[in-house]
Amino acid sequence: MVNPTAAIVVIGDEILSGRTRDANMHHLAGVLTEAGIDLREARVIADDADKIISVIQTLSQEMDYVFTSGGIGPTHDDITADCIAKAFARPIDIRDDARRILQDYYDRTGVALNEARLRMARIPDGAELIENPVSGAPGFILENVYVMAGVPRIFQAMVASVLPGLTGGTPLVSRAVDIHKGEGDIAPVLTQLAEKFPKLSIGSYPFQREGKFGSNVVVRGANSQEVDQVIASLKEQLL
């Protein structure tokens, strides 16, 4: 069985300008790996409507799941919801269910639900809302696209809330071993094992500790017995 595939689209000028270091991609990568969903691609794009629309259309065709992060707040540069609606040719307007959630949230916190905040109730027709336990304003699911907030704490809460609804695959087993040799010395053994176990992913990541080079070798795959076999073989040949 092949695992479901996914992409994440991080939307926001602030990542591309270097102001902010993205955290959502890394968080989602870990969560999906555990769920047996293959994150195949991540893209960071600017707050540019044409770009957002075309990237969403492309990835929603290519992948089982597409996750977006950013651009669903109350300000003028928050254009993600409208772009997603356009990408799927759906009408979009302030929706009563979303407005009610915002009204409840702002009533509780004693803040006015003004025109700007009402923008966050703009949800495409047919989309399912994603709960936001942190700051009220919901995300949404349209087709296979999961539209979530950019603020990491809210993004993480939304991921947690949609996760049970995703169809996961076989979670990959991952084991690692540190070899105190340079990558160039262990490469032949890695190549040999990669050829012998074509279904496993064998990666090596060089490090330097106390002036000495080493490699962290990570073996990943659905078959834990094979993974263990490769780790044992690495230890036998290289430690």
Positions in the binding site for a second copy (CB under 8 A): 12-22, 25-33, 38-46, 51, 73-77, 111, 114-117, 119-120, 135, 151, 172, 174, 182-188, 190-191, 194, 201-206, 218, 220
- CB-nearer residue toward a second copy: 17 or 225: 17
- CB-nearer residue toward a second copy: 61 or 128: 61
Our CA dihedral for 154, 15, 47, 44, rounded to 10 degrees, sits at -90
Contacts by 79-84, CB closer than 8 A, 24 or more apart: 79/47, 79/49, 79/52, 80/11, 80/52, 80/147, 81/122, 81/123, 81/124, 81/140, 81/147, 82/49, 82/122, 83/49, 83/52, 83/53, 83/56, 84/52, 84/56, 84/124, 84/140, 84/142, 84/145, 84/147
- Taking every pair of Cα atoms in the chain, the longest distance, rounded to a whole number of angstroms, is 67
Asked if residue 71 lies in contact with residue 35, where contact means CB atoms within 8 angstroms, the answer is no
Smallest gap from residue 51 Cβ to a second copy (A): 8
Token code pair at residue 86: 């356009």
Smallest gap from residue 71 Cβ to a second copy (A): 11
- CB-nearer residue toward a second copy: 48 or 128: 48
Smallest gap from residue 38 Cβ to a second copy (A): 8
Smallest gap from residue 222 Cβ to a second copy (A): 13
- CB-nearer residue toward a second copy: 201 or 229: 201
Best CA proximity match to 145, nearest among 226, 214, 218, 61: 61
Angle between helices 152-162 and 24-35 (to 10 degrees): 20
Best CA proximity match to 12, nearest among 2, 1, 28, 25: 25
- CB-nearer residue toward a second copy: 49 or 111: 111
Smallest gap from residue 126 Cβ to a second copy (A): 26
- CB-nearer residue toward a second copy: 90 or 220: 220
Smallest gap from residue 236 Cβ to a second copy (A): 19
